[in-house]
A and B are shown apart, each in its own frame.
Chain A
Amino acid sequence: MSIAHTQPLTMTPPEMLRDVHFDGEMEKKISALLRRYPTKQAALLPVLWLCQERWGWLPASVLQAVAKRLELSPAFVEGVTTFYTMYNTQPTGKYLVQVCTTLSCQLCGASGLTAHLKERLGIDSGETTPDGRFTLLGVQCLGACGEGPVVQINNDYYTNVTVEMLDQILDELPE
């Protein structure tokens, strides 16, 4: 039985993001978000999410387009973006493998998972494999401590993870 249920991320190459414009569909979504808040600025986090979903990551050109659209300064937008750990200002691999490094998961053996991943992928935490398939990241508590060790791959949680499961998941993930 297969256990992997995650779709790959697509990173738009930097050369295609030199000049960023919001097309009609993006514009529609942004307008809908703006209706939720009394200020334009409040739509910043959701608009950044929208952009990250669309282009895979958030280069400076995207941040500038967001700043312009929400009438904020690019420096302010960059300051906010880099405060939060989930906005990626660098491209990641197709699969962002995040292992919880906090107490409850560690008590249940999460450090073995990290060691295994480092060896299998040949990379350290924060690095991406040369083929661009995996990025490995040690992260803080994911809020599922009763089912530790917890690994999040892209948007999906995998719980009670063992080394064997992890190998199976990595083997099964689509191209």
Chain B
Amino acid sequence: MEPILLRAEHETNSKALTTSLKLGGYSALKKALIMNPEDIREEVKKSGLRGRGGAGFPTGVKWGFVPQDLPKPKYLICNADESEPGTFKDRKLIHTDPHMLIEGIIISSYAINAHTAYIYIRGEFYEEVQILEQAIAEAYKKHYLGKNILKTGYDLDVYVHRGAGAYICGEETALMESIEGKRGQPRLKPPFPAVVGLFGCPTVINNVETLACVPHIIERGADWFASIGRPRNTGPKLFCVSGHVNRPGVYELPLSVTYREIIEKHCGGVRDGKKLKGFIPGGSSAPVLPASAIDIKADFDSVAEAGSMFGSGALIVLDETTDMVWLLENLLTFYTHESCGQCTPCREGGNWALEIVRRIRRGYGRPEDLETLERISQFASRGMTLCPLGDAFCGPITGVLTHFRGEFEQAIAKAKPLPKKKLPALPVRSGRGTFGM
């Protein structure tokens, strides 16, 4: 496939406006601003574009939920929080072609009649904040932003809002709280952001990669976009590959290529000639799949059928040496650290699961542990919590217990009885808000 989202990847000075213009940047904007906003929404709906931030919700449909007759301002938010472990495509996109993102933001804002857009970016991405600020300044100068854009009468301001270290702020309602100057704690839904979002106003929130697709849909048409991939899973996708492969990185490929093609052809296979043990297909909250699943298609529907989640398209490759008990401990450490603490099943359940897995790893597992872990993952997922972070820490538990249960059983079979003396205290997690960890 010809590069689309990464078309500027090999340009020297790819971030500059001049480079963007040379490659066709902002020509979709000129086309869009003389279209009817409703027609843009229709075109995006027809393209089949599904959100690239994790949930895979159809973008055009989401835009359609915004009530157009409410006498309130509307907002567009670009989600550049990029914190799901294994995901690093938005950073790549910002480094490669910040103007593609800005063009996408302008067209999308116009499509929902928003006059203010915020880019929420994770606090660690300091360099990327500078890149975006610079690109935004260039766009203002060229009248792509500001008042009366390209003399069409449309006004839009774009601001970068920098987070400050909190994975949960990637969740859309926590993100809105964070822009409003509060602790990043998710809101109860409904009401949904499309109706009551940022500052109580109708708000659309989309991922960086989702928004970067929009100019191409407008420029080349919904049918062209839908011809990439397969029905319900259309368009180009940025796959982030990390872990035990020879060539990790971001690869732009059509949705629905197989994992075999990604791992073996594009990434040069498993590192050091080792055998594949399994892979995590959609960011660390997606249940791990065994090596035998390598021929499934990398898209929303195939991965869901295989019992996992396509998520952000982040692929973490695991070779035969990977210790699954260790892996689960590592991921649970992440999710408990990032729990915002509002819901008991997530705050306490995550910690409880982590303590059990730590105990198993230290050689003190008990026969009933696996059942307890399963019970925890039942009551902390599927709508039992305010936001899907509950599901996010249960995904890894379900994955390893489905496909690699033997490893846990072996560890437990070899376990020593608990010593009479109390075990030395486990390192305490630093929940939200303490310095150090």
Contacts and interface: CB of A to CB of B under 8 A. Distances in A.
Interface stretch (B101-109, B164-172, B252-260, B398-406): B164-172
Contact of B178 (A45, A108, A142): A45
A138 to B, nearest CB: 6
Contact of A83 (B83, B162, B184, B437): B184
Interface in B149-175: 157, 159, 161-167
Contact of B86 (A42, A84, A90, A104): A104
B284 interface: yes
Nearest to B84: A141
Interface stretch (A7-15, A16-24, A148-156, A161-169): A148-156
B316 interface: yes
A129 interface: no
B122 A82 contact: no
A143 B124 CA distance: 9
A62 interface: no
A117 to B, nearest CB: 14
A139 B430 CA distance: 11
Contacts of B330: 101-103, 106
Interface in B417-437: 432-437
Interface residues of A, number: 51
A80 interface: yes
B243 A43 contact: no
A143 B81 CA distance: 9
Given A42-B179, A80-B183, A157-B127, A137 B86 contact: no
B88 A144 contact: yes
Contacts of A147: 88, 248
A44 to B, nearest CB: 3
A155 B316 CA distance: 26
Interface in A94-114: 101-104, 106-108
Nearest to B433: A82
Contact of A103 (B91, B124, B316): B316
A145 B164 contact: no
Interface in B45-80: 73
B248 A103 contact: no
Contacts of A38: 73, 199
B435 A125 contact: no
A56 to B, nearest CB: 14
A144 to B, nearest CB: 5
B10 interface: no
Interface in B367-409: none
Contact of B88 (A42, A82, A145): A145
A124 to B, nearest CB: 9
Given A39-B181, A104-B86, A156 B327 contact: no
A146 B161 contact: no
Chain B contact patch, size range: 35 or more
A51 B432 CA distance: 21
A145 B240 contact: yes
B303 interface: no
A126 interface: yes
A156 to B, nearest CB: 7
B87 A36 contact: no
Given A41-B180, A42-B180, A86 B123 contact: yes
B240 A146 contact: yes
Contacts of B184: 83-84
A63 interface: no
A46 interface: yes
Given A80-B183, A86-B124, A126-B435, A46 B88 contact: no
Contact of B87 (A45, A145, A157): A145
Given A39-B199, A84-B184, A107-B243, A140 B125 contact: no
17 contacts: A45-B178, A46-B162, A84-B123, A85-B164, A85-B432, A86-B164, A101-B333, A107-B316, A126-B437, A138-B437, A139-B437, A140-B85, A141-B83, A143-B91, A145-B248, A146-B240, A147-B248
Interface of A: 36-39, 41-46, 48-49, 70, 72, 79-80, 82-90, 101-104, 106-108, 125-127, 137-148, 152, 155-157
Q: Give me the 4 closest cross-chain CB pairs, A-B, nearest first.
A: A126-B436, A44-B181, A85-B165, A84-B164
Given A38-B199, A83-B184, A146-B248, 14 more contacts: A36-B157, A42-B181, A44-B182, A45-B162, A45-B163, A49-B164, A80-B183, A84-B164, A103-B85, A141-B284, A141-B334, A145-B85, A146-B88, A152-B124
